[in-house]
A and B are shown apart, each in its own frame.
Chain A
Amino acid sequence: MHDLKPLTALGGSEPRIERFAHVTIAENDGLALASVAARMGFEAECHGTLKALLGAVPGPGQAILHDPEAGFWMGPDQWMIGAPKDTHELLADNLKVRFADTASITEQSGAWVCFDLIGPGMADVCERLCGVPIRKMVAGDAQRTVIHQLGCFVIRRADADHLRILGPRASAGTLHHALVTAARSTA
């Protein structure tokens, strides 16, 4: 085993958490991610494997909040699969085996920063950040959109109080700053 110590996207050894009265913004460093894109002519097989993996195939704008692997739709015939990093560090390799020639798999663990917004103020914060119709979204809705010029995924994990935002990892600091200032502004 190697001895390289990973950093979180915000550059710490531990994830950052900011608490406000109405919302908590927590960096989530525990996700392994890989994209799955169906090979042409193997869409049905790819869907079958996805269904076996997640319980269902996420449609456009949808996430399947399944355990341990969860997934959401990224684009036509393309999905993102996420799983706990502790147990699924080699998620992409495992998916390659599982999907074989029916899909192209790309490791995405390093590409994203993940923030969980938890609390009743989640929607207020979201309204200051991006144009998704947050108050109409329900658990399992996943939209790609722009936050502070950054392409992000906004995933409603719970109807009441949990929103997950995936953003480009290199801009983790910018995204975090945007979330925190929006939280302060709506506090």
Chain B
Amino acid sequence: MTQRNRFSTGGQIDRSTTHQFVFDGKRYHGHAGDTLASALLANGVRLMGRSFKYHRPRGVLTAGSEEPNALVELRDGDRQEPNTRATTAELYDGLFAKSQNRLGSLRFDLLAINDRLSNFLTAGFYYKTFMWPAAFWEKLYEPVIRHAAGLGSLSLQDDPDVYDKGFLHCDVLIIGAGPAGLSAALTVGRAGADVILADEDFRMGGRLNSETFALGDDSGADWAAAAVAELESLPNVRVMARTTVIGAFDHGIYGAVERVSDHVHTPAEGKPRQILWRIYTQRTILAGGATERPIAFENNDRPGIMLASAMRSYANRFAVTPDQRVAIFTNNDDGHRTAADLHAKGVKIAAVVDVRPDIPRSHDYEVLHGEVIDTKGRLGLTFAEVRLGDGSTRTLECGALGLSGGWNPNVHMTCHQRGRPTWNDTLAAFVPGPDLPAGMCVAGAANGTLSTAGALREGHAAAVSVLDLDTSDVDLPQAEDTPVAIKPFWYVEGCARAWLDQQNDVTVKDVKLSHQEGFRSVEHLKRYTTLGMATDQGKTSNMGGLAIMAELAGKSIPEVGTTIFRPPYTPTAIGAFGGRHRGQDFHPKRLTPSHQWATEQGAVFVEVGNWMRAQWFPRDGETTWRQSVDREVLATRKSVGVCDVTTLGKVDVQGTDAADFLNKIYCNGFAKLAVGKTRYGLMLREDGIAMDDGTAARLAEDHFVVTTTTANALPVYRHMEFVRQCLFPDMDVQLISTTEAWAQYAVAGPNSRSVLEKIVDQDMSNDAFPFMACANITVCGGLRARLFRISFSGELAYEIAVPTAYGDALMRKIMEAGAEFEITPYGTEALGVMRIEKGHAAGNELNGTTSAQNLGMGRMVSKKKDSIGSILSEREGLNRDDDLRQVGIKPVDPEAPVPAGAHLMAMDGPIDAAHDQGYATSACFSPNLGHAIALGFLKNGSERTGERMRLVSPLTQVETEVEIVSAHFIDPEGDRLRA
């Protein structure tokens, strides 16, 4: 296939580089510098897609990111990328694309039947039917609708590319590198300020690349290239092509997406596909240009019908004409430029049709006063029907029709912080309003200044104003400075199936029906008809709809108003927002000091928040996790076990008021705790509900080490800082987290003392170091360490801590010392079994709704002092006699399960919510008792020991007869702890 619509000269393509590409299975050629759309047009391909609802054949409407029609599935396999605009997809060698939203081939789409049925499928028709019989919605109607709807398809394979994020700071961000943006950038850059110039296109210059205007002695494109070259040479300027600024967020933060690798076949090794930049800027110059709008008339959506400015882009930038016979339909002078440019390149101009009576004439082609009222051509335009000013009609033979309905300044970013645009009568368009995001100013076409000279001037002036420069004259090149001459004209009288929103198939008729049915606010119109909800978010469609609404309501367009402009400016890959935070990199991993050693032991690890903890340590011959866990528990209770407990939060609390401070944050008393002693503490939230529990060890008169649960380390620390800084700012207390500074191991079991005696450099006897003692010590002949005699397992136990770097060595030392006692490493499962056996509350019990009373610790809440939560813990709802109390649960049949999450019901009576008595919070198999056990909360539970109940889990189909028992299954008197 030859590039039959490619001009032999001109354009900013690299004719020396030919790229081969495939579209819908056919092979074509294009050049470097092409987009997929320009290359397809060059090859004579006008049909590129199908519309959303009626599956109408469609070609390109635009030459930019606002394209609603020419959406394709780009690439294949796991890189398949649905809804890619052919108008922005940069051509590369080997590009592979398919058309989408079709059943059958693009030429013979079976769903085009919808177009025949369009009279039944008007705006909102689906709200009025498909209701009978009720069950048919999910079974029949909806699946059919869903399969017909949607656009491209997702491969459903994992995206193989990586995405980066980054952060940039600048004095001035300039959005858009057309004449205004370049002019601004040159001024700011030369003045030495830090500037970022971002443009969504791969070639900077904006409309300068698409027009034939001269700037001084250069062509626009050459001037732009020279300007970019100068900017790139300045160290204070960062020029970012292929970078779309997607949104203006609070306080001068802009999001921008740089497409690093979308123009190559696959990203280079280690390189991202895209980067999401967060740009922090003092000032912003928005120079994002303007978007031409089409005109609505009957069948105005056929392939070959496109914006007149897009035709100029294809002709001047890409050296392509959409067809050899072209007509133009315009309401303003700009449309005539397209005819002139194409004519100069040898394209036959069928006619220029202008709605204005007093129109510029041409010697080169026919100019008609009139309106295009209909078109023909099933898969591409063949004829345009014109009604002339005198009422007569005429048929124009043409394969392409350029529409020029005037220009809409791209005001989106000015409205991202809920600013509203204002109406400009001269342009018949909305321009930026007064409520711009702080620090932003607008220049050039985005500001409604549509001439090239005006854009250059305004860009320069914006730069001068944001930098507060002396307004010395600058040497701006001579450029066209034509005023805008437009007659507002939105749609051709009498048309019905005239498309406003080409992608969503919203026609003039739909807008009228919406009005007729009372959907008369602009938001109702949008939502009822789906106007402007397509992938272009109404860039080419909204104005027409608003104009018709205004007319129907007898209002002006500004009275009707616009819908809200929302980020992103153009649709943005979700992968880019995710960055590298996916897969294993979703959240950071925290490894304990014994991680390497545990890995060597073959430990199975489990995620606990961001920590990876050893869950159990399987041994040869063990086939189920239960075997390992049972062994670990039994060995620990029989002799000795060791477990890494570094993950518990640790906060150093120092200062002369440290004890008073702990009295505030714990509901129980700490002032009288002796130096060298540790105490259990329960921390309440101010609402009287348990927040966390742990221990505080008094290492010196003015020094405590507070532990928190693993999960709550961060919120508890934040809370402590709140109490310190905001509530008691004059307390002499200093806080710092030391969670990761110390490797801490629990050594538990009757032989734990014997093991540690071999390591610790001090007297370990019960008298010298009794239950709840703590001390700064040394180990192994001199390494500084901390020793606490505390126990989560209920056994004689210690926790020993050394600086983290020595954690690995200490674990190996403990294992060596414990070898003669067959010391057994245990993981979080065995830890959990032992704490349930002992009746200690943990995360499942401290679930944010339990009070001290629920936990059976009501009496711990001291009434003699001020502590956080003590007052609100006295509320009646937290002090009901029949409230939940923590209990133990054991099965009557030792073989029966007692699942956590099951609910407690009386032995007889119905099983339903009204008869719910409580629930099991934590459960496990107790190898010591030989049956399953659970902790739970039961109404009035402290009075119900010995009662038989049913523990039911209809969800998992379990029902067990259980007995309510003490939560302390093992050693209720605590003799082992004190041994």
Q: Which residues of A contact B (CB under 8 A)?
A: 1-9, 11, 35, 37-41, 77-78, 90, 93, 104, 106-112, 127-128, 130-133, 135-136, 148-150, 168-175, 177-178, 181-182, 184-185, 187
Identify the 10 closest CB pairs spanning chains A and B, nearest first.
Answer: A110-B804, A104-B654, A184-B270, A6-B805, A37-B734, A111-B741, A4-B809, A40-B732, A174-B588, A2-B780
* B732-A4 in contact (CB<8A): no
* B165-A170 in contact (CB<8A): no
* A104-B740 in contact (CB<8A): no
* A111-B580 in contact (CB<8A): no
* A40-B589 in contact (CB<8A): no
Across the interface, A135 reaches (CB within 8 A) one of B162, B169, B589, B806, namely B169
The residues in B between 163 and 181 inclusive whose CB is less than 8 angstroms from any CB of A are: 164-169
* A150-B588 in contact (CB<8A): yes
> Could you list some 21 contacts between A and B, CB below 8 A?
A2-B779, A2-B780, A2-B781, A4-B783, A4-B813, A5-B806, A8-B805, A108-B738, A108-B741, A109-B803, A109-B804, A111-B740, A131-B167, A133-B169, A148-B581, A169-B804, A170-B739, A171-B588, A184-B271, A185-B162, A185-B164
Q: A37-B734, A37-B736 are in contact. Are A4 and B164 (CB under 8 A)?
A: no
Contacts of A168 in B (CB 8 A): 590, 740
* B272 in the interface (beta carbon within 8 A): yes
* B655 in the interface (beta carbon within 8 A): yes
* B610 in the interface (beta carbon within 8 A): yes
Contacts of A3 in B (CB 8 A): 780-781
Across the interface, A128 reaches (CB within 8 A) one of B166, B194, B804, namely B166
Q: How far is the CB of B285 from chain A (nearest CB, A)?
A: 20
- Cβ contacts B169-212/A at 8 Å (1 or 0 each): 10000000000000000000000001000000000000000000
* B580-A181 in contact (CB<8A): yes
* A127-B738 in contact (CB<8A): no
- Pick out which of these stretches binds chain A: B84-92, B498-506, B591-599: B591-599
Which partner residue on chain A sits nearest B714 by CB separation? A151
A169 to B656, CA, bound (A): 30
The DSSP consensus for interface residues of chain B is mixed
* A131-B280 in contact (CB<8A): yes
* A148-B588 in contact (CB<8A): yes
A132 to B592, CA, bound (A): 29
Across the interface, A2 reaches (CB within 8 A) one of B272, B591, B783, namely B783
* B730 in the interface (beta carbon within 8 A): yes
* A110-B654 in contact (CB<8A): no
Q: A35-B736, A78-B736 are in contact. Are A11 and B589 (CB under 8 A)?
A: no
Which partner residue on chain B sits nearest A4 by CB separation? B809
Q: How far is the CB of A52 from chain B (nearest CB, A)?
A: 20
Contacts of B168 in A (CB 8 A): 127
A107 to B736, CA, bound (A): 10
Q: How far is the CB of A163 from chain B (nearest CB, A)?
A: 14
* B782 in the interface (beta carbon within 8 A): yes
Q: How far is the CB of B849 from chain A (nearest CB, A)?
A: 28
Q: A7-B596, A104-B655, A173-B591 are in contact. Are A41 and B732 (CB under 8 A)?
A: yes
* B805-A39 in contact (CB<8A): no
* B804-A130 in contact (CB<8A): no
Contacts of B784 in A (CB 8 A): 90, 93, 107
Contacts of B271 in A (CB 8 A): 184-185
Q: A4-B783, A39-B655, A149-B587 are in contact. Are A110 and B803 (CB under 8 A)?
A: yes
Q: How far is the CB of A156 from chain B (nearest CB, A)?
A: 14
Q: A1-B781, A185-B164 are in contact. Are A106 and B652 (CB under 8 A)?
A: yes
A6 to B731, CA, bound (A): 38
Q: How far is the CB of B484 from chain A (nearest CB, A)?
A: 42
* B742 in the interface (beta carbon within 8 A): yes
* B806-A4 in contact (CB<8A): yes
Contacts of B783 in A (CB 8 A): 2, 4
Interface size, chain B (Cβ < 8 Å): 64
* A171-B610 in contact (CB<8A): yes
* B45 in the interface (beta carbon within 8 A): no
Contacts of A38 in B (CB 8 A): 734
* A2-B782 in contact (CB<8A): yes
* B741-A107 in contact (CB<8A): yes
A5 to B810, CA, bound (A): 9
Q: How far is the CB of B410 from chain A (nearest CB, A)?
A: 28
* B278 in the interface (beta carbon within 8 A): yes
A8 to B803, CA, bound (A): 12
A170 to B808, CA, bound (A): 13
* B743 in the interface (beta carbon within 8 A): yes
* A170-B611 in contact (CB<8A): yes
Q: How far is the CB of B946 from chain A (nearest CB, A)?
A: 46
Across the interface, A107 reaches (CB within 8 A) one of B646, B655, B803, namely B803
A185 to B702, CA, bound (A): 49
Which partner residue on chain B sits nearest A127 by CB separation? B166
Across the interface, A106 reaches (CB within 8 A) one of B278, B595, B730, B736, namely B736
A160 to B862, CA, bound (A): 59
Q: How far is the CB of A111 from chain B (nearest CB, A)?
A: 4
* A170-B732 in contact (CB<8A): no
* B585 in the interface (beta carbon within 8 A): yes
The residues in B between 576 and 613 inclusive whose CB is less than 8 angstroms from any CB of A are: 580-581, 585, 587-592, 595-596, 610-611
* A4-B596 in contact (CB<8A): no
Q: How far is the CB of B886 from chain A (nearest CB, A)?
A: 32
A104 to B591, CA, bound (A): 28
* B802 in the interface (beta carbon within 8 A): yes
A184 to B162, CA, bound (A): 12
* B167-A170 in contact (CB<8A): no
A35 to B735, CA, bound (A): 10
The residues in B between 702 and 731 inclusive whose CB is less than 8 angstroms from any CB of A are: 702-703, 730-731
Q: How far is the CB of A69 from chain B (nearest CB, A)?
A: 18
A108 to B813, CA, bound (A): 23
* B585-A148 in contact (CB<8A): yes
The residues in B between 201 and 247 inclusive whose CB is less than 8 angstroms from any CB of A are: none
A12 to B883, CA, bound (A): 54
Contacts of A1 in B (CB 8 A): 781-782
Q: How far is the CB of B807 from chain A (nearest CB, A)?
A: 8
Q: How far is the CB of B963 from chain A (nearest CB, A)?
A: 43
Q: How far is the CB of A15 from chain B (nearest CB, A)?
A: 12
A148 to B611, CA, bound (A): 15
Contacts of A39 in B (CB 8 A): 655-656, 732, 734
Q: How far is the CB of B737 from chain A (nearest CB, A)?
A: 8
Contacts of A7 in B (CB 8 A): 596, 805, 807-809
A178 to B592, CA, bound (A): 19
* B742-A40 in contact (CB<8A): no
A41 to B809, CA, bound (A): 41
A110 to B576, CA, bound (A): 36
Q: How far is the CB of B802 from chain A (nearest CB, A)?
A: 7
* B741-A110 in contact (CB<8A): yes
Contacts of A11 in B (CB 8 A): 591, 595-596, 808
A133 to B252, CA, bound (A): 14
A35 to B702, CA, bound (A): 16
Q: How far is the CB of B727 from chain A (nearest CB, A)?
A: 15
A5 to B593, CA, bound (A): 13
Q: A39-B655, A107-B803 are in contact. Are A173 and B740 (CB under 8 A)?
A: no
Name, among B646, B732, B813, the residue most crowded by chain A CB atoms within 10 Å (CB to CB).
B732
Q: A1-B781, A127-B168 are in contact. Are A6 and B806 (CB under 8 A)?
A: yes
* B654-A106 in contact (CB<8A): yes
- Cβ contacts B809-827/A at 8 Å (1 or 0 each): 1100100000000000000
Across the interface, A170 reaches (CB within 8 A) one of B164, B738, B740, B802, namely B740
Which partner residue on chain A sits nearest B805 by CB separation? A6
Q: How far is the CB of B739 from chain A (nearest CB, A)?
A: 8
Q: How far is the CB of B701 from chain A (nearest CB, A)?
A: 11
Which partner residue on chain A sits nearest B277 by CB separation? A127
A173 to B584, CA, bound (A): 12
Contacts of A130 in B (CB 8 A): 167
Name, among A2, A11, A177, the residue most crowded by chain B CB atoms within 10 Å (CB to CB).
A2
* A4-B169 in contact (CB<8A): no
A182 to B270, CA, bound (A): 9
Across the interface, B589 reaches (CB within 8 A) one of A35, A41, A109, A171, namely A171
Contacts of B779 in A (CB 8 A): 2, 4
